[in-house]
Amino acid sequence: MKKIQERLWQILEQPAERDMVSRAFHGILFTLIVANVLASILGTVPWMAQRWEWEFYLFECFSVAVFTAEYAARIWSCTIDARYASVLWGRIRFAATPLALVDLLAILPFYVMVGVSDLRMLRILRVARIFRIFKLDRYSKAIQVILGAIRDKREELALAAVILAVLNLMSASLIYFAEHEAQPDKFPDIPSALWWAVVTLTTVGYGDLCPVTPLGKAIAGFVAVLGIAMFALPAGILGAGFTEQIQKQRDQQPPRFCPHCGHPLA
């Protein structure tokens, strides 16, 4: 039984590069997750939902059965890892890890829908199935690079978010004092002006709120230009994080040797 657990844990959590069983398993799950996301999207189209309602339901049952078996296998085999060696508390600690919680949330809406009769709640739970896309983190190196970059640069990104929040508040305050008297219906207070500040800082400009005073237009122009500069800040932080993650992956790769002379390859 322990050998089965070890092999199952290896396939699920520690796949070897040349392990064909692990690669096939992860490839099948990757395809199934993508198909689930597409089914969740297409299921919101009325004519598709009516025409293929039974097919969508059967596919959902099959997918939940596979994901449930996968989740149960991870919980059962996790005690092989020294971090989760305890039969009870080890499994609880593993179930509380972020990826295990994602696996649980991927199947939970289906079981909750069984006992729900409220149509609005059912629609919310059906749409929630699209969050199964987060399961791709286990099977996509690209997503792992993105999440690794965000994790390593979380302090810098948090600082950039604080700066953007302060600029948003300052922009809303300035436009309120400049436009309140001219447009009391559109800029009645600073909280209402926050929407204009967000739209202008992101340079989207929906046009539903526009300054009409010379001072307001000057503030709007300054805020729009400032938004272009400020949103380049998190982009630069993430770019540096991506570069570091790629370098880490290269450093972790085992050295390659020439098959003829045995010297390491550059």
Say yes or no: 116 and 166 in one domain: no
Say yes or no: 167 and 76 in one domain: no
Q: Which of 81, 113, 139 is the last residue of a domain?
A: 139
Residue 213 sits in a domain of what CATH number?
1.10.287.70
Amino acid 218: pLDDT:
93
Mean pLDDT, residues 204-219 taken together: 87
Q: What are phi and psi of 165, to 5 degrees?
A: -65, -40
Asked if pLDDT for residue 236 goes beyond 90, the answer is: no
Amino acid at 104: L
Q: Which domain holds residue 233?
A: 154-252
Amino acid at 29: L
In a domain, 260, yes or no: no
Residue 72 sits in a domain of what CATH number?
1.20.120.350
Dist CA 110 CA 129 (whole Å): 8
Per the structure, the count of domains in the chain is 2
Model confidence pLDDT, tens digit, residues 112-137: 877 665 556 556 666 666 666 667 66
∠ CA 39-45-46, rounded to 5°: 125
Between 19 and 67, where is the model more confident? 67
In a domain, 113, yes or no: yes
Asked if pLDDT for residue 17 goes beyond 70, the answer is: no
Amino acid at 36: N
Between 228 and 95, where is the model more confident? 95
Amino acid 119: pLDDT:
54
Say yes or no: 126 and 173 in one domain: no
Q: Among candidates 145, 139, 141, which has minimal Cα distance to 245? A: 145
Dist CA 203 CA 230 (whole Å): 11
Amino acid 255: pLDDT:
60
The partner residues of 257 in beta bridges, in order of sequence, read: 264
In a domain, 238, yes or no: yes
Dist CA 117 CA 142 (whole Å): 40
What's the pTM value of the predicted model, to 2 decimals?
Answer: 0.65
Amino acid 129: pLDDT:
66
Mean pLDDT, residues 208-234 taken together: 86
Mean pLDDT, residues 96-111 taken together: 85
Model confidence pLDDT, tens digit, residues 40-61: 888 888 888 888 989 988 998 8
Say yes or no: 83 and 125 in one domain: yes
Mean pLDDT, residues 154-158 taken together: 87
Asked if pLDDT for residue 263 goes beyond 80, the answer is: no
Q: Which of 85, 109, 139 is the last residue of a domain?
A: 139
Say yes or no: 23 and 134 in one domain: yes
